[in-house]
Amino acid sequence: MISLNLLFIGDIVGKGGRRAVASLGAEIRKKENCSFCIANAENIAGGAGITAKCLDGISPGVADVVTGGDHVWDQKGFDKEIVSLANVIRPANSSSLQPGRGFSIYNNPASGELAVISLLGRVFMKTESNCPFETVQGILAKIPKTVKSIFVDFHAEATSEKAAMAHFLDGKVTAVFGTHTHVQTSDARILPGGTAFISDVGMVGADDSILGRDKNAVIKKFLTGMPQKLEVVDEGIRFDAAIVSYNPENGKALKIKSVSLMSEYSNVPP
């Protein structure tokens, strides 16, 4: 039986996250023999949004595909840039009038074609979006039957919605990776139908922070209820990810394990 490894990197936060992924991500790919890598990068530019420049050194290089989320349009001009970035996908259940693509089929040199889908949750989320369950059903109907390996980034707040999506897709996709909360969960497992699932992969962001932001500013905001500038912390970066082993012949996941380690590269000057 053939077994391949895929690396999924959690939400990359700011400059420190970019540096850690550029250095540590490549090492992990090599050490874990990962033939393909997906990274959520919706917070890569100053902690909110994406720019083509911020993807330099990340993709290509470490990540073969970059996914977005509710902050995908936070950086001015990215709506123009995404059109020419074939390896970047935004949430598929956003308005069809938005630029870019919500899923695509890519070539893994080790095994051939695989599909990557980006979805946005609706529970406790401020961003307007269509039903992710109906959307992914329609996408699966469009993917050729020859494409056996399908990976889903479900960017959502509620663990119940993430778990529901995973069970909904069990046996239909290779893996469902939860993102958005920046806190890695300990529920990585293989579901009965052969789909790998983790509620949240975590983040590549400052360990001594609150979701990658200055902890004192966040506490002050909660304490006073007043607006605060929540600066991104770019030092002391923790690298969160998940690795899935799967059979490319039938798209079934064989094993999933979470990764969480400190990066020694986060303080290197740009």
pLDDT digits (tens, 9 = 90+) for 4-25: 999 999 999 999 999 999 989 9
> Rounded to whole angstroms, how far apart are CA atoms 194 and 203?
25
> Rounded to whole angstroms, how far apart are CA atoms 145 and 260?
35
Q: Where are the domains of the chain?
A: 4-257
Q: Which CATH number fits domain 4-257: 3.90.1150.10, 3.60.21.10, 1.20.58.100, 3.30.460.10?
A: 3.60.21.10
The continuous run of DSSP H or E covering 36 comes out as strand 34-40
Least confident stretch, 53-57, 132-136, 150-154, 185-189: 53-57
Instruction: Output the pTM of the full model.
Output: 0.95
Number of Cα atoms under 13 Å in the Cβ half of residue 102: 23
Residue 147 structure tokens: 């494409």
pLDDT (tens digit, 9 = 90+) per residue, 152-203?
Answer: 999 999 999 999 999 999 999 999 999 999 999 999 999 999 999 999 999 9
> Rounded to whole angstroms, how far apart are CA atoms 188 and 243?
10
- The vertex-129 CA angle with 163 and 200, nearest 5°, equals 30
Whether residue 2 has pLDDT greater than 80: yes
Q: At 238, phi and psi to the nearest 5?
A: -100, 135
Residue 5 structure tokens: 């490894």
165 dihedral zone (left: phi>0; alpha: psi -120 to 50; beta): alpha
The verdict on whether 155 is a catalytic residue reads no
The verdict on whether omega for the bond into residue 60 sits within 30 degrees of 0, i.e. cis, is yes
> Rounded to whole angstroms, how far apart are CA atoms 124 and 106?
32
The residue-averaged pLDDT of 105-117 equals 95
pLDDT (tens digit, 9 = 90+) per residue, 202-230?
Answer: 999 999 999 999 999 999 999 999 999 99
